[in-house]
Structure formats: structure tokens, C-alpha cells
Chains A and B, each alone.
Chain A
Amino acid sequence: MKFHFQHFLKALLLGLFTLFFANLHLTGDISKYINPKYDYMSKMAAILFFILLLIQLTRIWQEKHSHHACSHSCDHDHGNNHWSFKRIIGYSIVAFPIITGFMIPPATLDSSIAANKGFLLSQDNSEQKDEDTAAGSLMEDAESLVEKENIDIYSSDVDDIALPNENYVSESEYDEKFRLLQESDTIQMADDMFSTYYAEINDNPKSYAGKKIKMSGFVFKEEGFTGNQLVLSRFLITHCIADASIIGFLSEFNGADTIKEDTWVDIEGVLELGSYGGSELPIIKVTSLNVIDEPSEPYIYPVLKLLGN
């Protein structure tokens, strides 16, 4: 019997991967990385890692020259050989995400990423810029402007708003919420229907002009904005953070320049038909604004209609 250090190392890494994936679910941090709708995949990964760990454990102590069943026909590294520089680098690379994953907390995407991805409505003419606004140092300047009235933005007329986590909506519920958008005078941009409402308003800005709107989001600005313009935006996550796209409404009010990028705000305003960069688009004329903390669910997810009821 001989102790195989490389097999031990592989077992250690598998164990750490198991812990990493399990920890993501236990702490709920998983929603900072992927759309929670798909979290069964990463739960399965944690279980698979654990099974592989158990099997790998049996390989740490084995006979010195164990006959390997496939020594000829397979071409990968079985970890029985001697150390090499290449192998050390290989293990370091595998260890790297575990180290950063445990040591560095997940960040919320901010306006610097938004600037790279581009605000899709105004892409044609806007210049790219790379601003590194620290997400933390926010709202001192804006305080004077903020009205302290409390707007309960999510008290929508529909009682059971599905959690953004499980953004499944039944067909009838979906239709009802959609009708609500078309019929009510005040549009509530709640997280669950955000992307649907957003697309609808953008496609038919004329039919929604004049309606009141309530929403929350973070502030994003593009080069070329006037002092009273900002984009109230959200990141739409389809699958994981890497596929985030930024959506939001161009908003106008006096003093927009005093609010820094990445500040989270609640606003109330009136939709108007405006234009930016030569294309027609809906604009929010802001009537009141409230600086808020970053919500625990900063991202929004596409709606999935359940078939049937």
C-alpha cells in the first residue's frame, strides 16, 4: 500500500468543489451568480461531486503498481505519474476558482459593466465609456433632492406576485397582468413582470404615453446625457450573470446630475413619448424620487409562462 499524493489532491479538490456548490445553496449566494430557476443543475453538481469524492477517496491508498484496466486505450492523466511543472500548474488552475469563490464575495453588476454592454436603445450613436464607479460610495449628494415620502412600489393590485426566484407565471395570471398594464392608469414595474412590461412599453410607446409609472432600479448614465437625464435600469439575467443584458427607461428631471451612477432609487413619474439619438422611445418624466438600498434581489429574470393553469 502506498499513499498517492496526487490522488489525495484530487480528492481534496473534489471535496472543496462539493463544499463550494453546497455552500452557494446554503447561503443563498447562488442567486448572485445564476438565475435561481436553474439551480437544480448546480444542486445536482454538488451531489455528483460528492459521489466522485467518495470514489476518489478509495484511490488515495492503493498498491504501488495497481494494474489499470485501460492502460493502453486511454490517453489522459491518471495521476499515478511523477510531478511535473505542467501538472502543478494544472492543479493550481483548478484550485483558482475555489479560492476566489470562497475568499471573494460575489459582487452585483454595476454601471461599469452596463457601459460595456451598452444601453440597447441608444446604441447607434452613443459613445462607449468606461467608468469605474465604486458601488459603495453613493448617495451623499443626492440626499437634498430626495423626497422622503414612502412609496410602496410593489403594492400592486394583483395579490400573489410570483417571487422573482421562481418566475413562472400561469397563462391566465400572465394575461391578467398584461391586461392590467394596458388598462390601469398607474403602471407598477414589479420584478416578476418587469421584462414583459418593459418590452411592451418599448414596442408601443405611443399607447402608454401619459400613464403614471412606478419603478425602481439603479442609475446608469451615458456620455452625452444632459444634466437632467439618466437611465433607470436593471440587469436582465437569463441563465447566469455572464449573459446579463441591461434594460431601462430614459428618465428626465431637474437635478439628475446630482445622483451618482449605481445609486438605487424608487421613482414615480409619467411616461412620455420622447426621442434619443434619432429614434422614438418612451421617457419617464420623474415626479418623485427616493434613494433606496440595493435590493436583495437586484436582478430580474425573464417570465416563463406555464402552459395550462
Chain B
Amino acid sequence: MISRKQKSSNEERGDSMQARQKKSVNISTVFVLGILVCSLVPLFLKMDSLKLSNSFLQLNTIFLSILIEAIPFVLIGVLIAGFIQIFITEDHIRAWIPKNKFLAVLMSCIVGAAFPACECGIVPIVRRLIGKGVPLYAGVGFLLTGPLINPIVILSTYMAFGNDMEMAMLRMVVGFVAALAIALVVSVLFRSNQLKNAKEHSHSHTHVKKKQKQPLVPRISEMFKHSIDEFFDMSKYLIAGAFVAAFLQTYVSTQSLLQLGDTQFQSTFVMMALAFVLSLCSEADAFIGASFRNVFPTTSILAFLVYGPMIDFKNTIMLLSVFKAKFVVILFILITSIVFLFVTLSSLL
């Protein structure tokens, strides 16, 4: 708590305080990671006694399966991030992104919808794009629609609901409109890029121009080196998030959650909480959502399908490694309330 307060007050004081701010960021990261390690040490001790409890075996299997599923997408993500870092200049981005805020948000959501990604692979890409000068609201639009709307997700949703296009269409349309709304609110609320270790931009300008003269091969090798560093940066948060998600699946009963959902409002919240906790890949969650058809109304299942790809446990931890904590909290509140609102509205149509 103390370090977080210190951090936010430093932010307001501006650039001169950057050195100190960076230090406090480190402290808060160490704090989070420290808790994790403290919770892991007993597990290692348990391992020494060679009598692993059955529940830990189950937890470990779920944990590894989330990682095995997610790591290929993260690798693709960091390679694209490396590519952006080396080959895309800030001048390109300035030329591509419309000046008008609404048009920029619309464009980012459409590009995201055309871009096949999953919610963990997209975080390093968005980080790199925003670092290159893409406005925050456009980055958020891309972040939200990338995992939610793409051919694989649509196909799996179509199949999961008994080859019925209705749910897949609802998911796309409601998700797209909600993402637009969230990105627009972000464009009103935030002016700066909200990155954790924001650097001044003036430096990199001259720098990029110089770099363009480099031959192709060293630049490609440079791209891979960036990707490697990005992978080590991102993967520790992915691993931490996957572990917590596996822990919750093993020890927390989703069934007790389900008993809370009596009215439609309640069950919509329950399904959103479930989507957050389970941290499923957006390409697989449709089948889980479909299995609740005889328990909950369509609206609640739609909320599950729209909310999960936008934000969940493992992706929140990754976002916290990239953006300032205050921004992540506000983004979380925005996504939750706007998705809830739009899904509820869609049931009235």
C-alpha cells in the first residue's frame, strides 16, 4: 500500500521524479513477486518429502496445461512485438492512425477484430505499439477486440452452440460495441500513455532515423533479441497468473459460485466472475459457456463469452506489468461495468 501511494504521488510530480518513481515501481513488483515466492516455497518443501498430495498433482497438471496452451501464442506475440520495435517507426504510426479520436478507436477495433490473437499474446504487442506512440485509446481498442473477435473464436462459438450462428453473432456484435465504448471512455479519461516505465519521446526520434540505414540481417537479429527479452519480461507474469488460475480451479468450487445466481442480474455477475477466475483461452471458452445453457439464461452466457476474452486473471497480471496500476484498476472497472450494461441491454432488444 505504501509503495503504491508513493508511486501515484510521484507520477503527478512529473519527469524530474522519474528515477524515484522507477524505484517505487520496483518495490511494488518485488512485493507482488515476493508473495508468490513465499506461497511457492512450502510447495517445494512438500515436494522434498516425495509425498505430493493428489490435489497438488492436479494443480500442477492444470497449471502446466494452461502454460502449454498459452506459450505458443505468447511466442507469436513477442515476435510481433520485436518486429514492431525494430521495423515500425513512430512516423509510420503517426501516418497510419487517424487524428480524430473516434476514427482512431474505430480503426483500432476493426484492426483488432481482423487480427487473430489470444488475450495473453496481445499484451506485449499492445505494449510495444503504445511505446511507439499509438494513442492509449487505440491500443485499448486493439487489446479488447483482438482476442474476442477472430475467425477461430467465431467458429468455435458456432460449433459449441450446436451449429447455431445466433450466439456467435451476438458475441461479435455486443463485444465490438462494448469495446468501442470502453476505448472511447478511455480516450476521455486518460491523456498520457499510462505505461509503467514511460520514456521521453524526443530521444528515440533521431535514433530511429539512424537505425533505418542498418542492413536487414542485423536488424532481424536485433528483432529476435528483443523478442527474447520481451519473452522473459512477459512470461514471468503469465506463469504467475496461470499458477493462480490453476490454484483457484483446484481449490475453489465453481459450483458454490453457481448457487449465487438466482436472478438474471446475479447470474450475469456470476458468469463474469467465472470468466475472470477461470482465465480460459478465448478459443476454448465457448464450449464451457455452452455447458451452462441449462443453468443460466442466454444473457449471462453472453456476458461470460464477451467478458472473458477482454479481461481475466492471468491477463490482468500481465497488464499490471505493463501499465500503471491505477490505469489497470480503472480499465477493469470500465470493462466490467460496460460489458454488463451492454449485455443487459442486448437482452431487451
A202 to chain B, nearest CB (A): 9
A52-B224 in contact (CB<8A): yes
Q: How far is the CA of A72 from the CA of B233 in the complex (A)?
A: 17
* Stretch from A39-47, A145-153, A161-169, A287-295 that touches the partner: A39-47
Report chain A residues within 8 Å CB of B292: 120
Given the contacts A52-B227, A240-B281, A243-B287, A96 and B239 also touching, CB distance less than 8 Å: yes
Contact with A along B120-154 (1 / 0, CB 8 A): 00000000000110000000000000000000000
The residue in A69, A70, A110 that gathers the most chain B C-beta atoms within 10 A of its C-beta is A69
Name B250's contact: one of A55, A77, A92, A113 (CB within 8 Å): A113
Query: A242–B245 contact, CB under 8 A?
Result: yes
Among A48, A79, A96, contact of B75 (Cβ-Cβ < 8 Å): A48
What residues of chain A lie closer than 8 Å to B198, measured between beta carbons?
A: 75
Verify if A138 is at the interface (C-beta below 8 Å from B).
Answer: no
The docked-state distance in angstroms from the alpha carbon of A113 to that of B60 is: 13
Q: A70-B226, A101-B64 are in contact. Are A110 and B58 (CB under 8 A)?
A: yes
B249 at the interface (CB under 8 A from A): yes
**Stretch in A127-135, A186-194, A211-219, A266-274 with 4+ CB within 8 Å of B:** A127-135
Q: Which of B64, B67, B224, B284 has the most CB of A within 10 A?
A: B64
Q: Does the CB pair A240–B65 fall under 8 Å?
A: yes
- CB 8 Å contact bits of B169-195 with A (1 = contact, 0 = none): 000000000000000000000000001
Interface size class of B (residues with CB under 8 A): 35 or more
The answer to whether A120 touches B232, judged by C-beta atoms less than 8 angstroms apart, is: no
Contact partner, A93, options B33, B73, B279, B295, Cβ 8 Å: B33
Cα A92 to Cα B156 in complex, Å, equals 36
List residues 14-42 of chain B with CB under 8 A from any CB of chain A: 26, 29-30, 33-34, 36-37, 40
Chain B hits for A38, CB < 8 A: 69
User: In the assembly, what is the distance between CA of A9 and CA of B65, in Å?
Assistant: 24
Closest to A303 in B: B159
In the complex, are the beta carbons of B254 and A72 less than 8 A apart? no
A110 to B57, CA, bound (A): 11
Q: Which of A254-297 contact B (CB under 8 A)?
A: none
Cβ-neighbour of B255 out of A72, A85, A96, A116 (below 8 A): A116
Closest chain-B Cβ to A124's Cβ sits at a distance in Å of 7
Main secondary structure of the interface of B (DSSP, over half): helix
User: How far, in whole Å, are A117 and B277 apart by their CA atoms in the complex?
Assistant: 13
CB distance from A235 to the nearest CB of B (A): 12
CB A112 to nearest CB in B, in angstroms, measures 6
- What's the Cα separation between A128 and B259 when bound, in Å? 10
Task: Give 16 A-B pairs besides A21-B71, A123-B295 with Cβ atoms closer than 8 angstroms.
Answer: A14-B228, A21-B68, A48-B79, A55-B224, A70-B207, A72-B199, A73-B204, A76-B230, A78-B229, A79-B229, A84-B26, A91-B232, A107-B58, A120-B291, A240-B66, A242-B280
Q: What 4 A-B pairs are tightest by C-beta distance, nearest first?
A: A239-B284, A73-B204, A118-B255, A241-B65
Query: A residues bordering B, Cβ < 8 Å?
Result: 10, 13-14, 17, 21, 24, 30, 32-34, 38, 41-42, 44-45, 48-49, 51-52, 55-56, 58-59, 69-70, 72-79, 84-86, 89-94, 96-97, 100-101, 103-107, 109-110, 112-113, 115-118, 120-121, 123-124, 126, 128, 130, 132-135, 199, 236, 238-243, 245, 302, 304
List the interface of chain B (C-beta within 8 A of A).
26, 29-30, 33-34, 36-37, 40, 47, 52-55, 57-58, 60-69, 71-73, 75, 79, 85-86, 131-132, 156, 159-160, 162, 195-199, 203-204, 207-208, 211, 214, 218, 221-222, 224-233, 235-236, 239-240, 242-243, 245-246, 249-256, 258-259, 278-281, 283-285, 287-288, 291-292, 294-295
